[in-house]
Structure 1
Amino acid sequence: MYKKIKLILFLLFICVSQITNAQETETKKDSSNLYLNIKNYSKKNKFTKLMHKIVFRTPVLKKEITKEVQKKYGIFEGKIIRNITILTLDPFGYSEIDTLKKPKNWAERNGNKIHIKTNRLTIRNLLLIKKNKPFDSLLVKESERLIRTQRFINRVDIAPKLIPNSPDSVDIAIRVLDSWSLVPKGSLSSSRVSFGLNDRNFLGSGHQFENKIRNRFSDGKSAYSVAYSIPNIKNTFINTKVSYQIDLEEYYGKSIAIDRPFYSPLTKWAGGIYVDQQFRKDTLPDSNLVFAYQNFKYNTHDFWVGRAFKIFKGNTESERTTNLVTTGRFLHLKYLESPVFEYDPDDFYSNEKLALVGIGISSRKFIRDRFIFRNGIIEDVPIGRIYGITTGYQYKNNVGRYYLGGRAAFGNFYKWGFLSANIEIGTFFEKATTKQTAFSFQANYFTNLISIGRWKLRQFVKPQLVIGSNRMEAIGDQLSINENYGLNGFTIAKYGTEKALLTLQTQAYAPWDLWGFRLNPYLNYSVALLGNAKSGLIESKVYSKIGIGFIINNDYLVFSSFQISISYYPSIPGYGEHIFKTNSFETTDFGFQDFELAKPRTVIFK
């Protein structure tokens, strides 16, 4: 345990060093004089001086390709918005910037004919700017980013224009390029058939309609899955999703989710309601490690609310996007059917009531960049900091206990690339004893963009460390390195309380495409260790994977990227040595960490 404490302290030291040593090169948007005024203001009392030191860190944008995509709105600031015009464009052959570009061939023209363009009202409901209000560059940038986050939107450009003979006014033109939103999916084998149809922009409304049906030939049984989502109700940014699914064995799930996130750093109120019932089966081991299927049937009621308070009185972007955030949550989990005692002696899968409150400081902004997870399309990279504390009370198995956790995170551009890191630690207290303690560290790094002729490259690095103490023996309270929890394509019937992962990926971006499809080659190396209380990580066997392949995406379609690859596994226990696998599945990228303090939770331990 002493070694674990030293390791945790060392990682905390590294994180704090990164935070305190980050460079403070001024961006082009804020003038140096303005920044000095902020700094001078912060010196008026000890609290604002401390907040200034903790929060304000300016990104270092070294590469020209990063600098050139940053928009400048200085000449429009404060002018009255006279008109806002919105033009939505079909996905094929058009451009959000080039007004002269038109569809050139038969396929583009006919593809557009059967596409339903996004309704202008759908786009207007995503805007934070209003007609007859002063032009606010931060609200304009946030409006453009919010439009870009919609899966049915490919690209967007918000262009303000000065008005001749009206120096105090400005017109705003918004051009939105749609993605093709109707995506069929299907499969056929000797035993079953399945077909699905997803519409990410139902009738141009921005609503999402997902449907899937499967049929088994042997007994004629069918499985269904349907979900309908409304991502934004009349500019409130309240999204609602209703879903229902039933599988071939008549296990089912049904849920209703109503949620308003902190969709922008300027958001004051957030909250959500989630209600569901799940009936499923899964395998659990008994004391002899013999696995058997067990039923799980439970109801979930989850409620939360959050309020953000602006800390500083100034009007700079850094001051406006730094908030004190308070949140509260109540979770009620009720089991109607649970595993029998032989497979759950600790009664881990049981009724639970959990109340949590959180408080912290969040500072987040977004930097526009290209060639990270998409080809040449603008991506909004979140930068910022989080310092938060979560506390609460749990009642489970007729025992009440308190919870305390903390979180610190940062992300920014530096001369040598982009780095973000997240550290969390939390534990339950039963009298004077800590229970189900968890420590989590994760970082994401990618280099500046490297150009080799017409090709472009980035190197990605993603380390992760999770350590648990006094965890329960149930699989649900143990760590895994299987599939999405560690190594894709890797499965092992082994669980633990400590794991370390390291993923390295060299990603190339192709200069060409075919009908919008881009095949971007990559080389991936992943290594994982899984330990427990008896044998720590240092004594654990190293499992690894080397993969090479293509990530395939399409600029015009809404479906997720998928990859075709061949992977080599030196060893997979239970399967053998020197194993090669070909994979073809939807892929998730390394992802951005959004510096949002939202619904309070315990440290994730999976």
Structure 2
Amino acid sequence: MLLLLLLWSTTPAIAQDNTSKKDTTKQDNKIYKEIETYSDKSKFTKLLHKLLFRPVKEQEASNNRKQTKKQTPEMLSNYKEYEGKVIRHIKIETFDPFGYSVSDTARRPKKWIERMGNIAHIKTRQFTIRNLLLIKKNKRLDSLLVKESERLIRAQRYARAVMIKPVAIPNSKDSVDIYVRVLDSWSLNPNGSASGSGTTIEITERNFLGLGHLYRNEFDNRFSTGETSYATQYKIPNIANTYIDFDINYAMLQSENSLKSVGLERPFFSPYTRWAGGAYLEERLVRDSLPDAENNWALENQKTEVQDYWGGYSFRIVKGQVRTTKLVTTARFFRRKYKEAPSEPYDPIDYYSNEKLYLSSIGVMSRGFVQDKFLFNHDVIEDIPIGRTYSGTIGIQDKNSKHRLYLGGRYALGNYHKWGYLSLDTKVGAFFHRNKTKETVLRFDMLYFTNIKKWGKWKFRHFVKPSLVFGNNRKPIITDLLNINDENGIQGFNSRNLYGTKKFLLTVQTQSYSPWEVLGFRFNPFTNFTMGIIGDDVHRLFESKVYTKFGAGVLIYNDYLVFNSFQLSIAFYPTIPGQGHNIFKTNTFKNKDITLPDFQINKPIITPYE
């Protein structure tokens, strides 16, 4: 009955030309109330109503976060009193990164180094910011779209702070002016690392010529082989206010590896987005080291061409209610063609073979964002996702003359609580062939971080990130096995001897935020602990050997570079199979060890097994 009410409520009405907007809203509210009343009749319908209709909201904020909000003018808003008024003008002002403030209009650069930095900086152009706005001139002000526009501007790596302020017009009751003030960050970001094995230098311009375009170049040199790698990327985000991104990549890597790719994509970038899609073309050459049946390793070529197309649409479940809760449908076609594949001794099961994949998914997502500070940056507003997502995926894979059914599902949720932030992401997926499951995956990913802790003028935050992955009926080839190497588990850990079908990872990090700065630089000490366990069909997961890494160091932030940090760190590894015992490495920690969850539903994918 609840579903019937839902379908009835979303069916277009006929002959309503004479019905006012007020009457329509009243009717929508009545329908929603009927659904809410009916849902209370049983536990199942009550749960279904909670999952489909109830918007996700932040739980009670901690006292520290309440205090942070009061002390940050950009986090305070007064949009509601202007709700529904017509926007007469939108005035945009962008500021160089040094010495200015979006909340203090009288503030100006005083130091000579600030003035010199501003001279060298190309300021963001006004039309670049205008392209990001969801509000338009001569349209009615929607406070939700104003807040979302602020978030979308903050999400750009070249914007340090933003404030959108409505201003009343004298002698006008139905109109309002909008002032948008954006403070740039220093967008030319050098980055690099050095260790006993090699050096890496990366130069990224995140706001090329003030257009918001990204231009990245990376150089890498390995001391042991003398090989040099080069990679470049150019990205045009949000073409002509469509939120379609254009991305092109070219790379010549070590061991003759190479990559050429070009893509267009419009994701569900906002809870209010209705349509999304993308197209991606790639040519890649990988010379990977693979073992044969006698565990002899050799470099084998994998040269592939990829085509990837997808599209999706989101529907508001009940018109006029719960605007951030959407029913989302997506479809995808993926094709990978092998122009070169590993020879038979290194791939006896034809794992590296041509493939076509047809996928479709349907799900419900409810997304929101909470503003916070002192997480991945120093004293900068960050938008932390909260929400719920439940989706199912179905598809067909054509590979090795077999047509296999694929089924997958996902349930994710995350929110702030009085004791901190907690998110959980659960995924499952499997292929079916001749009534048997193949290549099954079940994974759990969790993130918890505490509220800000204060000790004198210092601030601290603790992060905990466990991950659990199970695989069953996997392919008998090393590529389809789990490991805990580098980005797959423990940074700086690399072993050819450790593989399995199940793994558990745990990362614990304590990050401090220093009260002192020197020329805009802050030295923030951290400690990091990571452990990993690998199991298989013979060795039970939690009875297997535990491998660990203990790390410590300093993250060097700059108030004006904002989104980049330098690192000085050292890590200790008690054991790395195949390398030895009691190993020390430098600069092994990267700030991307802990990342925020994502409650979007985008293109359908096979549940990742990694």
TM-score by length of 1: 0.88
Over 3 Å counting, the alpha-carbon distance change for 1:70 and 1:480 in structure 2 is farther
1:488 is aligned to 2:494: no
Look up the equivalent residue of 1:599 and give its one-letter code.
Answer: K
Deviations for 1:468-510, whole angstroms, at most 9, x for unmatched residues? 0000122221111011111111111121110001111122111
Over 3 Å counting, the alpha-carbon distance change for 1:577 and 1:370 in structure 2 is same
Greater alpha carbon shift after TM alignment, 278-287 vs 231-240: 278-287
1:351 is aligned to 2:354: yes
Look up the equivalent residue of 1:538 and give its one-letter code.
Answer: F
Deviations for 1:233-268, whole angstroms, at most 9, x for unmatched residues? 111000001121223654321000100000101000
1:531 is aligned to 2:524: no
Q: 1:180 deviation in Å?
A: 1.3
- CA contact under 8 A between 2:569 and 2:589: conserved in structure 1? no
1:366 is aligned to 2:363: no
Q: What is aligned with 1:122?
A: 128
1:150 is aligned to 2:156: yes
Q: What is aligned with 2:600?
A: 596
Q: What is aligned with 1:43?
A: 36
- CA contact under 8 A between 2:195 and 2:585: conserved in structure 1? no
State the alpha-carbon separation in 1 of the partners of residues 562 and 380 from structure 2: 14
Over 3 Å counting, the alpha-carbon distance change for 1:322 and 1:541 in structure 2 is same
- CA contact under 8 A between 2:427 and 2:443: conserved in structure 1? yes
Q: What is aligned with 1:61?
A: 60
State the alpha-carbon separation in 2 of the partners of residues 213 and 462 from structure 1: 31
Across the aligned residues of Structure 1 and Structure 2, the Cα RMSD in angstroms comes to: 2.6
Q: What is aligned with 2:303?
A: 297
- CA contact under 8 A between 2:392 and 2:410: conserved in structure 1? yes
Q: 1:513 deviation in Å?
A: 2.2
Partner residue of 1:104 out of 101, 110, 116: 110
Deviations for 1:160-188, whole angstroms, at most 9, x for unmatched residues? 22223223222211111111112346799
- CA contact under 8 A between 2:570 and 2:588: conserved in structure 1? no
Look up the equivalent residue of 1:118 and give its one-letter code.
Answer: T
Aligned residues: 568
Look up the equivalent residue of 1:120 and give its one-letter code.
Answer: Q
State the alpha-carbon separation in 2 of the partners of residues 582 and 432 from structure 1: 50
- CA contact under 8 A between 1:564 and 1:584: conserved in structure 2? no
Q: What is aligned with 1:326?
A: 329
State the alpha-carbon separation in 2 of the partners of residues 228 and 459 from structure 1: 35
Look up the equivalent residue of 2:102 and give its one-letter code.
Answer: E
1:398 is aligned to 2:391: no
Q: What is aligned with 1:565?
A: 569
The gaps in structure 2 that reach 5 residues or longer are 1-28, 70-74
1:180 alignment partner, SS class = coil
Over 3 Å counting, the alpha-carbon distance change for 1:53 and 1:188 in structure 2 is closer
State the alpha-carbon separation in 1 of the partners of residues 584 and 31 from structure 2: 58
Q: 1:193 deviation in Å?
A: 9.1
- CA contact under 8 A between 1:561 and 1:586: conserved in structure 2? no
1:588 alignment partner, SS class = helix
Deviations for 1:353-387, whole angstroms, at most 9, x for unmatched residues? 01100000000011111111111111111111011
Over 3 Å counting, the alpha-carbon distance change for 1:442 and 1:212 in structure 2 is closer
Partner residue of 1:415 out of 415, 418, 421: 418
Partner residue of 2:439 out of 418, 426, 436: 436
1:134 alignment partner, SS class = coil
- CA contact under 8 A between 2:32 and 2:318: conserved in structure 1? no
State the alpha-carbon separation in 1 of the partners of residues 36 and 569 from structure 2: 56
Q: What is aligned with 2:579?
A: 575
Q: 1:305 deviation in Å?
A: 0.4
1:87 is aligned to 2:87: no
1:499 is aligned to 2:503: yes
1:557 alignment partner, SS class = coil
Identity of aligned residues (%): 51
Q: 1:287 deviation in Å?
A: 1.2
Over 3 Å counting, the alpha-carbon distance change for 1:137 and 1:170 in structure 2 is same
Over 3 Å counting, the alpha-carbon distance change for 1:543 and 1:230 in structure 2 is same
Deviations for 1:505-543, whole angstroms, at most 9, x for unmatched residues? 122111122233222211222111001111120221011
Over 3 Å counting, the alpha-carbon distance change for 1:158 and 1:230 in structure 2 is same
State the alpha-carbon separation in 2 of the partners of residues 265 and 191 from structure 1: 44
Over 3 Å counting, the alpha-carbon distance change for 1:561 and 1:52 in structure 2 is farther
TM-score by length of 2: 0.88
Greater alpha carbon shift after TM alignment, 213-222 vs 97-106: 213-222
Q: What is aligned with 1:175?
A: 181
4+ runs of 1 displaced by more than 6 Å?
A: 36-39, 186-195, 214-222
- CA contact under 8 A between 1:386 and 1:410: conserved in structure 2? yes
The gaps in structure 1 that reach 5 residues or longer are 1-35
